[in-house]
Amino acid sequence: MVGRHAARSRRAALTALGALVLTSLNAAASAAPPTVPGPLPGIARTPDAARPPAQMLRAMERDLGLTPQQASDRLVEEAEAGTLAGLLRNTLGDRFAGAWVSGATSAELTVATTDAADTAAIEAQGARAAVVTKTLAELTAVKQKLDAAAVRTGTGRTPVWFVDVKTNRVVLRATDEAAAADFVKAAGVESGTVDVRVVAERPRVLKDLVGGDAYYIDAQARCSIGFSVTKGGQQGFATVGHCGGPGATTTGSDQSDQGTVQASTFPGKDMAWVGVNADWTATPDVTAQDGQKIQVTGSVEALVGASVCRSGSTTGWHCGTVRQHDTSVSYAEGTVDGLTETTVCAEPGDSGGPFVSGTQAQGTTSGGTGDCTGGGTTYYQPVNPVLSAFGLTLTTTASEALTPGPQDNAAADAWRAGRVYETGATVSYAGQRYRCLQNHQAQGARSPQNTPALWQRV
């Protein structure tokens, strides 16, 4: 089941989702009328998935071997899969063990569970079911032990570790098996719990050269603008932390005064933001193929297996897919947690540049291995944690920014534009309660009642 047939099957399955989802609803909620009755055209789509930028379609054709129609269909299927994965995750609860999309020309959703009894219900929604032994929470707990051990021990020969939802394992990449064994032992983890893979290269940060839209730090180093943001009345942009510490001054690509690094974290995380002066204006634009631009409309997190594209001045506009979320990477400068690994190539000078999926902001280029001649692996710092950590609002299309929806200001859990929500979070809005389906920052007019791709009424 691939291509358009898969998309139609998932849309049809969503119309019958109640059999599984309603098991998690209380009596009052189940008695309420559905938000969107009948067939659900668009309910499974991340906003704007049906209007992908032409520049992204062309790059996916080049880098992923897809026709323009296949690329367009795949983006829609990925968006629908994201919503369905969120619905099933909320319903499975503690039994949930991960979700991902796969397929060379389409996006087939797989949802993993630790209970075989869930198989029929998952498949009834148009997704494949994988029955595994460990929940996502159990695997994450193992990875967290490795994270803690990395603070106490050297990780020069154990540079990358992550939860691989496809294999239901925690994976550790090491330059030799002895170093891996020592690291696992130091973490207090049973050796059989971690899948060790021997690799030759260690990721490095891509710094001090031009990338994306160039900016200069203290007249010495150059990095790339990621995404425009605001904080209160201050405009600026998000970038990576290894480009400069708090207080560092920046100049633009034209060497004119630009701003100051307001906050920066590296290692640990690789995040920073620069506040700019009045000569600079925040826009939702991202430089794409041949100097053209696309506009960011939100920050909905893409699933493992989903397509992503990256902008950078050294190698330009390149696409690939998401391999892993929540990856820990040990650079020579220290360990960074929570990165996303991709198949997109990059080279020194691309650091800090933006990753997007469709028109949804994903993160900023951190580091990697390989190059764009022979191929490589690139890691990005997800943008939603940056927005949350520094209290930033992503700059998106003007219509959203100027049309905020009403809010239940009296409620402690009222939905609020600008707040970053994770899958499973519950909010109140216009007298109703909703559960979040996909990680994202709430944007202006896209309130829960208007975005069923992101919120489930409960």
- Catalytic residue numbers read 242, 270, 351
Among 377, 353, 206, smallest CA distance to 288 is for 353
At 93, list the tokens.
């609860």
Return the ∠ at Cα 378 (arms to 375 and 379), rounded to 5°.
170
Following CA atoms 211, 217, 219, 224 in sequence, which dihedral angle do they give, to the nearest 10 degrees?
10
For residues 315 and 228, give the distance between their C-alpha atoms in angstroms, rounded to a whole number: 21
Tokens of 319: 């696409």
What's the rounded Cα separation, in Å, for the pair 129 and 388?
33
Which is nearest to 209 in space by CA: 303, 62, 9, 347? 347
Q: How far apart are CA 27 and CA 203, in angstroms?
A: 52
Q: What is the DSSP string of 181-236?
A: HHHHHHTT--GGGEEEEE-S---EE--SS--SSEEEETTTEEEE--EEEEETTEEE
Q: What is the dihedral of CA 236, 242, 247, 252, to 10 degrees?
A: -50
Q: Which residue in 317, 313, 339 sits closest to 328, CA to CA?
A: 339
Distance CA 72, CA 94 (A): 34
Question: Which residues lie closer than 8 Å to 98 by C-beta, 6 or more apart?
Answer: 111, 112, 136, 163, 165, 166, 168, 304
